[in-house]
Amino acid sequence: MTTAREAILASLRHTLGRGEATETTASTIQSQIQQHGRGPQPNWMEDDVSRFLNKLESVAGTLNRVTDEAEGVTAIHAYLQQHNLPLQLVSAKSAVLDKLDWPADFAVEQRTATGNDTTVLTEAFAGVAETGSLVLLSGMDSPTSLNFLPDNYICLLQRVHIVRHIEDVWDRIRQQADRMPRAVNFITGPSRTADVEQTIQLGAHGPRRLHLILLE
């Protein structure tokens, strides 16, 4: 009995006028995949960092630029106070995040997020100047749930990790691993919806706020 898989593939091959992939046909798609050529890309006048920050702000992201980890902590402290948020963070792990020296009144835990967490702190793998996106990769140190469950999303990004185009992210990922991580999230601003009378409302199901700490 033909399985659905066999039937579908046979039907496709019949339409395309050939049998199963031969060495010649297989090499066509192999070379396409290996070359992974880029298509047309947008361009801009400003430098990439300015572009990145402008785009971030245009999608309702807020930011602080800081020169070192201590300033980062101060900025985060100020942000939480500004929005009347408890001094509690669920944090991802990273070389930089682990170095942050939290004051005594802060409660910082490094774990996956639950439904009750107010504020999260992660570090982005990259920032994309083209779109103002933050790129987060799933992993032991950076669980995906941190990106989506809490109301307030603070993300640290090292300035050197700002890349120009979306495709630059793929090259960076290919450099560091054979496979894609389980999840790659491009996050561009807080969560939003326009499903009620086409009126944009932030904080649909994901975070209501997105705050960037850009570290020199």
Site for another protein in 19-58 (CB under 8 A): 21, 25-26, 28-29, 32-33, 36-43, 55
Question: Distance between CA atoms of 75 and 82, rounded to whole angstroms?
Answer: 10
Phi, psi for residue 114 in degrees, rounded to 5: -115, 180
- Subset of 60-119 contacting another protein (CB under 8 A): 111-112, 114-115
Cα separation, 133 vs 127, whole angstroms = 6
Measured from the CB of residue 77, what is the shortest distance to another protein in angstroms?
Answer: 26
Closer by beta carbon to another protein, 68 or else 171:
171
The CA angle 22-27-33, to the nearest 5 degrees, is 135
User: 86: buried, middle or exposed (CB in 10 Å: 19+, 13-18, 0-12)?
Assistant: exposed
Binders of another protein: how many residues, by CB under 8 A? 76
Our measurement of the distance from residue 45's CA atom to the centroid of its chain's CA atoms, rounded to an integer in Å, reads 24
Site for another protein in 161-200 (CB under 8 A): 166-167, 170, 179-199
Residue 15 is a binding residue for another protein (CB under 8 A): yes
In the chain, the N- to C-terminal Cα span, in Å, equals: 63
Task: Give the whole-angstrom CA distance, residue 69 versus residue 60.
Answer: 24
Question: Shortest approach of another protein to residue 78 CB, angstroms?
Answer: 25
Shortest distance in whole angstroms from residue 93 CB to another protein: 9
- Residue in 77, 85, 106, 148 binding another protein, rule: CB under 8 A: 148
Least distance (Å) between residue 91 CB and another protein: 13
